[in-house]
Amino acid sequence: MRAAFATLLACLLCLTAAPATASTTTCPTTLTCTVEDIDGMTIAQRLTFVRTLSTGPAAEVVPGYAPRWRNIEGVLRFFADRDLGASGTWVSYVDAGILEGIERGIALARGDSTDTFGNPGASRWASYLTRLRDGELSARSAHDRAWSEAEQASTEYGVRLAEQVHGVPATAVEERFYQFSEFYRWTLRSRPMLLDLLTPPVGPGEGRQLTFLDWFTDVTNDVPARRGSHLAYDLAEFDVPGGALNFVALFHAYAAALAEDYLPTPSERWWY
């Protein structure tokens, strides 16, 4: 009986597991997967997709730069934490619109194609990457504005895809969470140029972050996006205890980042 039960369980797991289809495994290479292809991916597959885009074709356009979508990785990890983003949901379609825009933007920036697949974010991501490569976005305020405008265009396309094409509206909680994401993008776009005096220029390699604003809006860091998404979702659910805990977790992560960047290691402490 145990053997039969084990066999039955294994079969069920095989049926329910999401297989790696041809599209999900070749998307970072072909850069031709559509929003529908991406909607069919699991969150784990999307996370791999974004990471492979960053280390593969995007790195060909902006060699030496840290991955430009680590904050999106953080949001995807949050989706996995909360079991959000299943295929066919509002969250999934919006996310698919964002990821398709990035994919096609890379294709345009590499000169592979001129087809945006109808995603208005694609041309903005292409412009962002080529301007970054050409040194036009070395000021943090200019960089964050260009990044935010590209994601905004892709995000709004994803919203239209969900609501107008597929007829899937956001829930009340999802709508409130979305407003937090809108505020995040607005913060990037509205960064004062005077703060650039306190911030290292954007360039190849990893950069240190000093102020909370710099750390929280660093697109090359997945930690603040993941922790901030948990906080925003708790607030969207009116979960005060959960929000308080995630507020503490967010600032603990910031303190840990400061300590790692600015406090001497034991081997560097002269008093040891």
C-beta of residue 40 within 8 angstroms of C-beta of residue 27: no
**pLDDT tens, position by position, 121-154:** 999 999 999 999 999 999 999 999 999 999 999 9
**pLDDT tens, position by position, 173-190:** 999 999 999 999 999 999
The arithmetic mean of pLDDT across residues 190-203, rounded, is 89
Amino acid (1-letter code) at residue 41: M
Span of 14-28, 64-78, 174-188 with lowest mean pLDDT: 14-28
State residue 256's pLDDT score. Answer: 87
| Cβ count near 247 (within 10 Å) | 16
CA distances from 216 to 3, 48, 96, 250 (A): 51, 23, 24, 9
State residue 265's pLDDT score. Answer: 52
User: Taking the model in full, what pTM does it have?
Assistant: 0.86
Q: Is the pLDDT of residue 261 over 90?
A: no
191 falls within a domain: yes
179 falls within a domain: yes
Angle subtended at Cα 81 by Cα 78 and Cα 86, rounded to the nearest 5 degrees: 85
State residue 4's pLDDT score. Answer: 39
Q: Which of residues 2 and 93 earns the better pLDDT score? A: 93
Domain of 59 in residue numbering reads as 22-201+208-263
State residue 264's pLDDT score. Answer: 57
- Split at pLDDT 50, 70, 90, the class of 269 is very low
Give me the DSSP letters along 146-212: HHHHHHHHHHHHHHHIIIIIS--PPPHHHHHHHHHHHHHHHHHHT--GGGGGGSPPP-SB-----SH
3 falls within a domain: no
174 falls within a domain: yes
270 falls within a domain: no
271 falls within a domain: no
Tokens at 69, concatenated: 């979508």
State residue 83's pLDDT score. Answer: 98
Of 194, 65, 201, 199, nearest in space to 138 by CA: 201
Give me the DSSP letters along 103-144: HHHHHHHHTS----TT-THHHHHHHHHHHHHTTTT-SHHHHH
14 falls within a domain: no
102 falls within a domain: yes
Q: How many domains does the chain have?
A: 1
